[in-house]
Structure 1
Amino acid sequence: MDDKHEPVLTVGGSDSELDKRLTEELTAFNIAATGADDQEEFSIRVTDADGELVAGLTAWTWGGLCGIDMLWVREDSRRDRWGSKVLLAAEAEARRRGCDRVAVSSFTFQAPDFYQRHGYAETGRTLGFPGGNADVHMYKSLATTGN
């Protein structure tokens, strides 16, 4: 058997080129499977007077669903409700893009209670994270809520 025609499996560290290619391939597959060709990312940034990051959010919309990837607020600004302000801004942007629902996940040591206070319902958990923690999956319908 000729070994030079066999695929080669390699294991390595972070690979932005591979990440880009997999995103392109899976996006094409997802569009073909669903017919929804409207996937877009968006972000929200809050900076202080010095231009330092206070809070931020990254998310995407696709086929009427908004998926929140990350939401973070600097520790000294958490009592100023920046998390709520950023989340509400993301929900408003999702509505503007035609979304009627939002999905997010948060580790049990992060902010599931925060999302639940904002009307998100737990839909499941992935167990086995360090320290006995879980990833809590949540969902919120925007169709019936004004916040």
Structure 2
Amino acid sequence: MSDARTPAQEATLTVGEHDPELDKRLEDGLDAFNAAATGNAEHTEFSVRVTDADGELVGGLSAQVWGGLCGIHLLWVREDCRAGGWGTKLLRAAEEEAVRRGCDRATVSSYTFQAPGFYQRQGYVEVGRVPGVPGGHEDVYLYKELKG
């Protein structure tokens, strides 16, 4: 029986501030793992942006596409522009782009104090909640089948 230690047994655990380089390594490692497990390595990201006449950001959306699923990460509209329908326009543009990229479904999460009702009015269906968000709120997960 050997007493040889593996590299992992000699490893050092550290906790620190946000580390963008670590994030990139983790993403690369998980992407490789996911591709091997599913046979689907294609993973792309895209964004939708609205600017005003002065070039200032009105709102935007970021999303990723993987295996026919569009995951909406962020959607935000500047407060003075929120009654102008920009959230709906951003979401529709993203869904159209997702379909163009081969997606047939989309997911998003929204805290109860944000906009789950907005997504439900756009045809998204609640599929789960996670309690414990500060202030007694929850994280709501929503899903929608996209039509091409």
Give the 3-state SS of the residue equivalent to 1:11 in structure 2: coil
**Structure 1 runs of 4+ with >2 Å offset:** none
Where do 1:1-147 residues align within 5 Å?
6-143=10-147
Give the gaps of 5 or more residues in structure 1: none
How many Å separate the matches in 2 of 1:7 and 1:98? 42
How many Å separate the matches in 2 of 1:74 and 1:32? 40
Give the 3-state SS of the residue equivalent to 2:18 in structure 1: coil
TM-score (norm 1): 0.93
The alpha carbon displacement at 1:106 in A equals 0.2
Give the 3-state SS of the residue equivalent to 1:140 in structure 2: strand
> How many positions carry a matched residue from both structures?
143
Larger Rg: 2
**Identical-pair percentage:** 64
TM-score (norm 2): 0.93
Q: CA RMSD in A?
A: 1.6
